[in-house]
Structure 1
Amino acid sequence: MGRSRRKRQDPDLGILSSRTLFSLQRELFTKISELGFPGLRPRHGAVLAYLDDAGSRATYLAAQSGQHKQVIGTLVDELAALGYVERRPDPDDRRAKLVVPTARGRELTAATDAVLAAIEAEHARAVGEEAYAEFKRVFRLVAERQTGLSSDAET
């Protein structure tokens, strides 16, 4: 059996993760656009997924998302032009800047959280609440082991 056929019949973690991510992004960004948040693309998730309500430094966003700081800078520029974030001086270090969600950005976060909760609820209904809860628990452990992070380190 060829490698391609084997990967289709028994996909590895990378394939399963990428299929899940790309499909989730497609559904999320389509629904977010339909809810009145235009111009967003999956690449913006590198900022939006890790952005703290009180603001985050670009270096933190880069470290969390695995993107280069220059990429994060470009994404922040795009999100600022769309009205979702702004740069402000960091009160702890006036030389540094924080990326802070605007009121519109906080509306986006609330909408995104609701869409993601609905998607997860659909999965839980499809496979069973207990099975889905166990899947998330195990997937979180695998992700932590893979990335070398613990849940405590992310908060």
Structure 2
Amino acid sequence: MRVPDLGMLAGQLMRALQEELFETLAEQGHPDVSPRHGTVLAFLDPKGVRATDLAARSGQHKQIVGTILDELVRLGYVTREPDPADRRAKLIVPTERGIDEITKARAILAAIEERHERTLGAGRYAGFREMLQQVTRDQRAWRQVGATTAWQAPMA
């Protein structure tokens, strides 16, 4: 069997995390949220945030964020309210239901991380997180590195 590459491993990790997170959220009273909604809910601010800022924070296109926000409004997780700093703009504000979901999601994710830390040990888990963050930063910078550099074989 082929050893999974970085993309496969990252995808498998993300799907496994989402599976546990959203199944547990469903058990805790939020059966109507999905990973799609999580891409926006994870970046909300209790005081509100503009949709354009949510798009930038989440890395999603504005149109996709707008569609997800329409769903979250319909489900009762967020409201659109006038921005006191700019009456032309709207703030996306989590409702009480939205705050409950966000609070529970963060607690579930913290419990998952604690479980992995216990399994690997505090030092190894901290090192894993540090390396994963570095790989993520390096990958996000791929355009600056350049396509030719990215495809060069490593020096032996």
Q: Secondary structure at the match of 1:51?
A: coil
1:1-155 aligned within 5 A? 5-6=1-2, 9=3, 11-148=4-141
In structure 2, list runs of 5 or more residues that go unmatched. Answer: 142-156
Give the AA of the match of 1:34.
E
Give TM-score scaled by structure 2 length. 0.85
> Does the 8 Å contact 1:46/1:61 carry over to 2?
no
Q: Secondary structure at the match of 2:49?
A: coil
Give the AA of the match of 1:101.
P
Aligned equivalents of 2:81, 2:134: Cα separation in 1 = 35
Equivalent in the alignment of 2:154: none
Runs of 4+ in 1 over 2 A off after TM superposition: 144-148
Could you report, residue by residue, the CA deviation over 1:77-96 in whole angstroms, capped at 9, with x for unpaired residues? 11111111111111221111
Give TM-score scaled by structure 1 length. 0.85
Q: Secondary structure at the match of 2:43?
A: coil
Q: Secondary structure at the match of 1:67?
A: coil
> Does the 8 Å contact 1:80/1:86 carry over to 2?
yes
> Does the 8 Å contact 1:88/1:97 carry over to 2?
yes
Aligned-CA RMSD value: 1.3
Aligned equivalents of 2:137, 2:107: Cα separation in 1 = 25
Equivalent in the alignment of 1:151: none
Q: Which has the larger radius of gyration?
A: 2
Task: Give the drift of 1:97.
Answer: 0.9
Task: Give the drift of 1:64.
Answer: 2.1
In structure 1, list runs of 5 or more residues that go unmatched. Answer: 149-155
